[in-house]
Amino acid sequence: MKEQAFWFLARASGFTAYLLITASMIAGLVLKSRPFGAKLKAPIALDVHRFITTLALAAIGVHGLTLVADATVQITFGDLVIPFTAPYKPLWTGLGVIAADLAVIVAVSFPLKKRIGGRNWRRLHWATYSIFALSTAHGLAAGTDSAQPWAIRVYLGAVGAVAFATAWRAFAGQARPATPNPPAPKGANHVQDPNRPVAV
């Protein structure tokens, strides 16, 4: 009975982590886009994104710990860190380990944004697409519930939502109006338009 409880928690926390990873990606893509960008200041949008990412990491941690506690799959703590060492479907479990390791790296980068620079921080965040893809492959191939109709709908919905959010972000970036040139300060030197009449 106890082992069944751990196995149930491992499955539930795995799906919870996957949904939170999806939500984190969507938040990162959409919250700074229109119309949300006009209502949420950048620090608030970043805090929401960071909070969802933290919840996802917590769910990943619960998923890994319950798998260790469950004696049926015989996964060790080392298998949670080093990819492709788990005895249970090592390839697909290893992809999940890589996704978790990348998620930790991305989460750690949040407080280091100023130190590593905004451009490098944004480049690092491109890894979130790899995290999502690896998590999807891990869940589909290693999850025992993946063949269930409801699970298939979860994966299809997550992939569709991320694809839509990516398209939304790309469209919002193209549709964003150009920033007008600021007015010249008073007293600044101007080049006189030769076609403009000079007042006398």
Q: Domain locations in the chain? A: 2-175
11-48 pLDDT per residue, tens: 999 999 999 999 999 988 887 665 655 566 777 777 88
* C-beta of residue 63 within 8 angstroms of C-beta of residue 42: no
54 alpha-carbon distance from chain centroid: 11
Other residues' Cβ atoms within 10 Å of the Cβ of residue 172: 17
* C-beta of residue 52 within 8 angstroms of C-beta of residue 20: yes
Enclosing H/E stretch for 61: helix 42-69
40-85 pLDDT per residue, tens: 677 777 788 889 999 999 999 999 999 999 888 889 999 999 999 9
What pLDDT is stored for residue 104 in this prediction? 93
- In the three-class reduction of DSSP (H, G, I as helix; E, B as strand; rest coil), residue 69 is classed as helix
- Whether the predicted pLDDT of 190 surpasses 80: no
